[in-house]
Amino acid sequence: MNWTRLWLFGLVAAVIVTTGLRLSARSTMDAPAGSTVGAPERSMNEIAALPASLPPVRVSATEPVASAAALYVLDVDSAYPLYAQNETTPVPIASVTKLMTALVALDEYRLDEVVTVSQEATRTIGSGIDLVAGEQITVHNLLRGLLIQSGNDAAMALAEHKGYDRFIEQMNEKAALIGLAQTQFQDPAGLDDSGYSTARDLGILAAFALRSPILLDIVSTVETTIDSIDGQFRHHLETSNRLLKGDHPLYLGYVTGLKTGFTPEAGHCLVASAKHGEHQIVTVVLNTDEQTPEASAKESRRLITWAFDAYAWPE
C-alpha cells in the first residue's frame, strides 16, 4: 500500500469515526438541529487512525453564522470535521462535479495530450470558455478552463476524448475508490441534477484534490489566458470563485481555491479551501438560503473566518 493510499484510508476513516462520535456537552451547547460542532471523545484506536493531531476548540467557541441546506468544515491535516450540518444528505452539486472530472482526467491523460474539440462539446449549455469545433487544445489548458472559469464545454471535451460513457464510469469508480459512499456522477459538468453527493463526501473529494500540485495551482488562479495548439484560438479565463478576487468585497486572502457550482435545482454551491499558516481547511456550502450569485462565497467566508477564530491553530 503506497503513502497516498495510507493517507486516503486515514482521511476517510477519520472523517467517518469523528462525525459519528458523541459530542461533548460544552461543544454542542445551543447547536441547531442537524448540526455538530466541537471535539468528540475518541478511543486510542480512533486517534491512531488520524493523520495528525487535532487543534483544540477554544472555550469561547460559538456556532458559525451561515445558512445553507448543507454545511461542512474539514481540517485537512487531521481529517477532523470542525462543523457539520446535514452533511450526509445527498443533494445535486452542480459544477462542483468538475473536481472529480479533473481528477479522472489527470489519471487518464497526459497534461500535454492534445484534444480535438467536437461540435457536441461546443454546444454544451451553461458556463463555457467558448471552445470552437475542431480546435486542438491540451489537456492542461482544458483543465484550466474547467476549474477556473467552470467551462462546461471543457468538461465535455475532456470526457469525450477517449469515450464519454467510460469517462463517467471512471468518475464513479474513482468516487468509490476514495470513499465517497453517497456520491453518484451522471455527467462531467454537473448539469444533470440526478447526480448527487453530500457535504461530507465533497470535503473528502476536495482534500484529495488538494494533494495534486497541478490542481492546487489551477484552482488558486484568479485570471489567465489559454491558447489552442496552433495559437488560432485564445480563451480568457477568470475565476468564478469570488473569495479569490482581490478587488471583490468578499475577497479573503488565505483562500486557496477550489470550485463553485450552480443549477436551479442544486442552488448556489461552493467548496473552498483556506490556509492559515501551515493549517488548511476545506469548507462546503450547498444550496444557500440566499439565492444570489454571491451567496455561496458569502456563506463560505463566514465558515472560514469562524473556523480560524473558533479553533486554536498551531503556528
Largest CA distance in the chain: 63
Catalytic residue among 98, 174, 259, 298: 98
Amino acid letter for position 70: A
Mean pLDDT of 18-40: 39
Task: Specify whether the CB–CB gap between 143 and 168 falls below 8 A.
Answer: no
pLDDT of residue 18: 46
Residue 100 to residues 118, 285, 286, Cα–Cα distance (Å) = 21, 17, 17
pLDDT at 219 > cutoff 50: yes
Task: Specify whether the CB–CB gap between 98 and 306 falls below 8 A.
Answer: no
pLDDT at 194 > cutoff 70: yes
pLDDT of residue 61: 63
pLDDT at 17 > cutoff 50: no
pLDDT of residue 42: 34
Here the cell at position 34 is 442537524
The separation between the first and the last C-alpha atoms of the chain, rounded to the nearest angstrom, is: 32
Catalytic residue among 78, 118, 150, 228: 150
Cβ partners under 8 Å of residue 26, min gap 6: 38, 59
Is 95 assigned a catalytic role? yes
Residue with cell 450547498: 286
Mean pLDDT of 18-37: 39
Tell me the backbone φ, ψ of residue 193, rounded to 5 degrees.
-75, 0
Catalytic residue among 95, 197, 228, 240: 95
Burial of 291 (0-12, 13-18, 19+ CB in 10 A): exposed
pTM: 0.86
pLDDT at 235 > cutoff 60: yes
Task: Specify whether the CB–CB gap between 133 and 122 falls below 8 A.
Answer: yes
pLDDT at 45 > cutoff 70: no
pLDDT at 5 > cutoff 60: no
Strand 279-288 and strand 267-276: the pairing is antiparallel
Q: Which is the CATH superfamily of the domain at 94-250?
A: DD-peptidase/beta-lactamase superfamily (3.40.710.10)
In whole angstroms, what is the distance from residue 168 CA to residue 104 CA? 9
Is 275 assigned a catalytic role? no
Asked which of 18-22, 155-159, 237-241, 290-294 is least confident by mean pLDDT, the reply is 18-22
Asked which of 229-238, 251-260, 302-311 is least confident by mean pLDDT, the reply is 302-311
Task: Specify whether the CB–CB gap between 269 and 286 falls below 8 A.
Answer: yes
pLDDT at 28 > cutoff 50: no
pLDDT of residue 65: 87
Mean pLDDT of 136-147: 99
Confidence of residue 277 (pLDDT cuts 50, 70, 90): confident
Is 194 assigned a catalytic role? no
